[in-house]
Amino acid sequence: MPWLPRAALLWDVVLGFGGTAAFLIDLGADLWAAGQYVVSGRYLWAALVLALLGVASVALQLFSWLWLRADPAGLHAPQPPGRCLALLHLLQLGYLYRCVQGLQQGLLVWRQEAPSEFDLAYADFLTLDISMLRLFETFLETTPQLTLLLAIVLQSGRAESYQWVGICTSFVGISWALLDYHRALRTCLLSKSLLGLGSSVVYFLWNLLLLWPRVLAVALFSALFPHYVALHFLGLWLVLLFWVWLQGTDFMPDSCSEWLYRATVATILYFSWFNVAEGRTRGRATIHLVFLLSDSVLLVVTWVTHIAWLPGGIPLQMLLPVSGICFLLGLALRLVYYRWLHPRCRQEPDRVDGAWGLRSLEWRRLPQNRRMAQLAQSFFPRVRDEAALPQKGEANGVL
């Protein structure tokens, strides 16, 4: 980070503004859709939209508040008093406060001719937390909202303009959140090079293409069996929650809040892959892919055995081939990415005896996001970057 040019720092600030704006636009689109449903007399649809918004927002504020409480005192100074922060989170403004704080730090770093390592490391610290919160919001609110929206469109057989906007922005936002989170994790590891433009595009595309068939399968099932989709989600969610618990996650500051994290990860796994533990990542990813694919096929078979046309008059034969092609193309791009485009570990140059020890000691005095560093080790298990991952007994933040 200390050697980043000013153009790269400015680009990070622009992306931060874009992420915050996308969050606000998505929130406005959901509220607009809920209002339209109320006007048209679809009170159940409006209630579902608002319920998903509320549950995701509460979970997001809890994560943000628990992380702030766990960080060392004085790390985020200057910041509002504890009661003001608690009030912000109670008013569901904690995530926006973090976004503004991250943008302020990014602008501070960009305006400096020679930003200090501490300012750069602290900007990374804030960005990592924001990326994680954005990912949680994506799968707790955006993805379920997209599934609900598709089910409504499939039932009615037509889509209003605000629904088309919601569908497009949701797909792009979900894939972008995954890409942003993946790129953010790499800043925790010194021995991993950052994603290039080509790698980023392929990573973005395979996430988008693999997500579409899963969301469509759940939406189809919801359109035909709206009373059973909750039971389907609950059944799979309990299985995935048990699987996450077996992996022994240790992400949150205490055991009670750890279950909140596990419940959120289980929700993510219902739609997409998310690695939370060290070990044979490829094996677990394959098991999860086969599990989701089998469940999606069963959902589609349930559709086919009952009816060949959607309630709105849309032939099912038009949707299944498209989703199948998307899945195969996404799987092929995923294999291509991890075979040829996945960044390799950088070789560290030879150093004079003692130079690395001084560098490591200096690095450990900088803000370090232990939460995200642990997840980075899980995503990239072959890397053991001791300078990037705090040792046992160290607090999240600084020594």
**Which tens digit of pLDDT belongs to each residue from 286-317?**
899 999 999 999 998 887 787 655 655 556 66
Q: What pTM, to 2 d.p., does this model score?
A: 0.85
Arithmetic mean of pLDDT over the chain: 80
Q: What is the pLDDT of residue 76?
A: 77
Confidence tier at 380 by pLDDT (50, 70, 90): low
Distinct helix (H) and strand (E) counts, the chain: 14, 0
Element (H, E) at 369: none
84/86 Cα distance (integer angstroms): 5
pLDDT of residue 375: 64
The DSSP H or E segment spanning 289 is helix 281-306
pLDDT band per the 50, 70, 90 thresholds, residue 96: very high
Share of the chain above pLDDT 90, in %: 34
**Confidence at residue 359, expressed as pLDDT on a 0 to 100 scale:** 40
Q: What's residue 78's pLDDT?
A: 74
Sequence-separated (6 or more) residues with CB below 8 Å from residue 74: none
Q: Determine how many CB atoms are found less than 10 A away from the CB of residue 267.
A: 21
Residue reference for tokens 């943008």: 103
Better pLDDT: 87 or 186: 87
Residue extents of the structural domains in the chain: 1-186, 196-306+317-342
| Per-residue pLDDT tens over the stretch 18-76 | 888 888 888 888 898 899 999 999 999 999 999 999 999 999 999 999 999 888 777 77
- The Cβ of residue 357 has, within 10 Å, a number of other Cβ atoms equal to 10
Span 344-372, average pLDDT: 48
Quick one: 36 exposed, middle or buried, by C-beta within 10 A (0-12, 13-18, 19+)?
A: middle
pLDDT over threshold 50, residue 1: no
Residues contacting 23, CB < 8 A, separation 6+: 95, 96, 99, 134, 137
